[in-house]
Structure 1
Amino acid sequence: MKIGILMCGAFPEQLQELTGDYDAMFQALLSGQDFTFESYSVFENEFPNSVDDCDGWLISGSRFGVYEDHDWIGRLENFVREAVTVARPIVGICFGHQLIAQALGGTVEKYEGGWEVGRKMYEFGGVELPLNAWHQDQVVKAPEGALTIASNATCEHAAIIYGDRAFTVQAHPEFGAEMIEGLIMTRSDQVGDLAKIDAALEGLEHPVANEILGDQIADFFRSNRTRDGEA
């Protein structure tokens, strides 16, 4: 199964030296799942020719906001809507989570409580899973018909499922402790809250559930689905 990774940004070289860019981290997260991968720098207007070029799609995080006025964001929203229509499975992480929600009628805003950084606990159907986060924007209103499947006290729509068409997560299951530490070292000024940075540093010593989310993403991609209009 071929997965197309839609890159919505790129980390500076200093951070890429730690774990690679988004596509390398996603390939590591989904290693052993019998997938092949192809990357597209959509933030530089490098798009696939068709939603059928890959068997499934994964939209990365980004330094941009989904509500910003960039041509590639509108183009990516159109791509999402087409993929959903023709039942090409699509997964969104952080910015990708927000972009899919916005494309399908949801609302994304900056969280009034500021940045969420480091290891956070999320309730997935009664099971608490720790995942690394790094965001200020979040989905504040899910699209009609979407099902929120994970949340916590500061992020109501932490994971959303759209039937068999899309699966999205606000946190970063591809981020390990090295990437969070690197972000703390290079972007803590953006966060502007020493208590949150200290908590994120403390969280580096504790495990996260990346492997569990990686398996869930892989299972979603492999699920049987039928295009609209097909028997």
Structure 2
Amino acid sequence: MHIGILQTGHAPQAVLERDGDYDAMFARLFRGHDFDFTTWNVVDMEFPEGPSDAEGWLITGSRHGAYEDHPWIPPLEELIRAIHRSDRPLVGICFGHQIIAQALGGTVEKFGGGWSVGRRDYHWNGDTVHLNAWHQDQVIAPPPEAVTLAHNDSCAHAAFAIGDRIMTVQAHPEFTDSTVDTLIEHRGPGVVPDDRLATARAGLGAGVDSAAIADRLAAVLKGARP
């Protein structure tokens, strides 16, 4: 199955050197699902011709805010709406989760409670799921037609679905401990409060449920219900 990756940012240099860019992380995350990937660097104004350029779509994370004034955000929002109209499957991670929400009528804001970084617990349809996070922005109000799938005390809409074809996740199932460790060392200082970095560092090695969430996302891309 041909999946188009809409890359909305590039990993920091230290992460690039250790783990590769975001599209490489997703290729590893979905290993074994028989996906072929093409990346469009929309952050660099590189866009597909339209939804038919891939059978399914994935929007990555980014250091940018969905509400910021960048020239690539309006055409990305229009592409999201076109993919939705086309009935092709679409998944979004972190910024991807946020920009899909915003494009389809939801609201994204910088969370007043500050940063969520490292291993976090999420209540997901009665289960507890552990995933790595790295964000301050979040979806405050999901699109009108969305159903919230997951939440925790600091993120009310940590995952949502729209019908059978769209599923989004605020956390980063593609982030390994290696990725989080590198972010703690190279992106966190001076940006994320020291106590939250310390908590994130203490959580390294405790295990996350990335493979299980990857299976759920892959199932949506293949046409199953979220």
Q: Please say whether Structure 1 and Structure 2 have the same fold, judged by a TM-score greater than 0.5.
A: yes
Structure 2 CA distance, aligned partners of 1:133 and 1:169?
10
Q: Tell me by how many angstroms 1:106 deviates.
A: 0.3
Matching of residues 102-181 of structure 1 within 5 Å: 102-181=102-181
* Counterpart in the other structure of 1:182: 182
Once residues 153 and 13 of structure 2 are traced to their aligned partners in structure 1, the CA distance between those partners, rounded to angstroms, is: 34
CA distance in 2, matches of 1:212, 1:132: 13
Q: Which amino acid aligns with 2:203?
A: G
SS in 1 for 2:32: coil
Q: Distance in 2 between matches of 1:165 and 1:88?
A: 7
How far apart are 1:224 and its partner, in Å?
A: 5.9
Quote how far apart the aligned CAs of 1:166 are. Answer: 1.0
Secondary structure of the structure 2 residue equivalent to 1:156: strand
Calculate the TM-score normalised by the size of structure 2.
Answer: 0.97
Q: Distance in 1 between matches of 2:190 and 2:21?
A: 20
Which amino acid letter does the alignment assign opposite residue 155 of structure 2? C
Structure 1 letter corresponding to 2:158: A
* Alignment-mate amino acid for residue 123 of structure 2: E
Measured after TM superposition, the shift of residue 145 of structure 1 is 1.3
Q: Structure 2 CA distance, aligned partners of 1:210 and 1:147?
A: 21
Distance in 1 between residues matched to 2:70 and 2:27, nearest whole Å: 27
Indicate the SS of the match to 1:58: strand
- After TM superposition, what 4+ stretches of structure 1 lie above 6 angstroms from structure 2? none
> Counterpart of 2:172 in 1: which secondary structure?
coil
Q: Render the CA deviation track for 1:104-146: whole Å, top value 9, x for unaligned.
A: 0000000101111000000110100100000000000011010
The 1:113/1:134 distance shift into structure 2, 3 A limit, reads same
Aligned mates of 1:151, 1:190 — CA distance in 2: 28
1:218 aligns with 2:221: no
Normalising by structure 1, report the TM-score. Answer: 0.95
What is aligned with 1:37? 37
Q: Does 1:68 align with 2:53?
A: no
- Contact 1:131/1:172, CA 8 A, preserved across alignment: yes
How far off its partner does 1:28 sit?
A: 0.3
CA deviation string 1:14-73 (max 9, x = no partner)? 211111110000000000001100001000000011210100000000010000011210
Q: Retained in 2: the 8 A contact 1:60–1:94? A: yes
Structure-2 change in CA distance of 1:193 and 1:13 (3 Å): closer
Q: Retained in 2: the 8 A contact 1:66–1:73?
A: yes
Measured after TM superposition, the shift of residue 190 of structure 1 is: 4.6
SS at match of 1:64: coil
SS of the residue corresponding to residue 158 of structure 1 reads: strand
C-alpha separation between the residues in 2 aligned to 1:199 and 1:136?
16
Provide structure 1 residue ranges, at least 5 long, that are not aligned to the other structure. 226-231
2:188 match: secondary structure: helix
1:165-224, CA deviations, whole angstroms, 9 ceiling, x for partnerless residues?
A: 210000000001000000000112253311111110011020000100110011111116
Aligned residues: 225
Q: Give the percent of matched residue pairs that are identical in Structure 1 and Structure 2.
A: 49
CA distance in 2, matches of 1:189, 1:108: 25
**Partner letter of residue 71 of structure 2?**
D
Any gaps of 5 or more consecutive residues in structure 2?
none
Aligned to 1:193: 193
Indicate the residue corresponding to 2:2 in structure 1.
2
